Structure 1
Amino acid sequence: MRPQYDYGDEVRVLRNVRNDGTFPGEPTGTLLIRRGSTGYVKDVGTFLQDQIIYSVHFLDSDRIIGCREEELQPVDAPWTPSRFEFRDRVAASQPLGIQGRVMVETGEVGEVIRVLRDHPGGVAYHVHFPDRSTLIVPETALTEPPQDETAGSSAAS
């Protein structure tokens, strides 16, 4: 297990990082750093002997946050921003279908399972809608769900 990044490397965080209870002074679930933010590796360590954890100093917010290797990429790697991230609740902004059959009506709420930044038509998502298969949905066909639909969603990452 060799670290991909070293002290001083500039990296970009790939998804929103929320407090999992290990960041002092902030409630669990608090957004600590937004996806796309860049910072510098300050230290490299391990967790449970099988996960590499990087202490990354995000200068804009002056926070040092522990990040797993899969949450980071080199700052000079291609970056495609996305509107939604893993576990975000989303609503269909139009009917969604497969082979002409409507599977999801406008306004139905689902959960992002995966972000597809390299999708041929632009950013798309694997979205799970309750009682249905997971669908690949382009970003343009999704919107924020109404506030009352997000009240029960989890904020942990």
Structure 2
Amino acid sequence: MIEPRLPKYQWGRRVKAAVDLFNDGGYPDVEPEALLVAAGGEGEIVQTGAHTDSNTPLYLVEFTNGRVVGCLEEEIEPIESP
């Protein structure tokens, strides 16, 4: 069994998309592969969890465009506080 990796980021953390985020089917009312959030889009982590098959951290991020998107750690980066 693979041990779960602990999340780097916690709930409430301000982050930005490190890459363009596309619809993988999670938004049935949006075209498949449509752009959901462009790289650099800012948001806040509203929930953390784990991908059950790989035991990797998964984050629900509410972006300022109103979309809530599931992201892997590699897809987001923290916004440093001034």
Gaps of 5+ in 2: none
Matched, 1:36 2:40: yes
In structure 1, C-alpha distance between the alignment counterparts of 2:24 and 2:45, rounded to whole Å: 20
Runs of 4+ in 1 over 4 A off after TM superposition: none
Gaps of 5+ in 1: 78-157
Distance 1:69-1:32 versus aligned 2 partners, 3 A rule: same
Which residue in the other structure is 1:54 paired with? 59
- 1:23 Cα deviation (Å)? 2.4
- Greater relative contact order structure (CA < 8 Å, 6+ sep): 2
Which residue in the other structure is 1:63 paired with? 67
Note the 1:92-131 alignment, pairs <5 A: none
Residue 37 of structure 1 aligns with an amino acid whose one-letter code is G
Q: If the length of structure 2 is used for normalisation, what is the TM-score?
A: 0.84
In structure 1, C-alpha distance between the alignment counterparts of 2:29 and 2:57, rounded to whole Å: 24
**Considering only aligned residues, what root-mean-square deviation do their CA atoms show, in Å?**
1.5
Give deviations 1:102-140, integer Å, cap 9, x for gaps. Answer: xxxxxxxxxxxxxxxxxxxxxxxxxxxxxxxxxxxxxxx
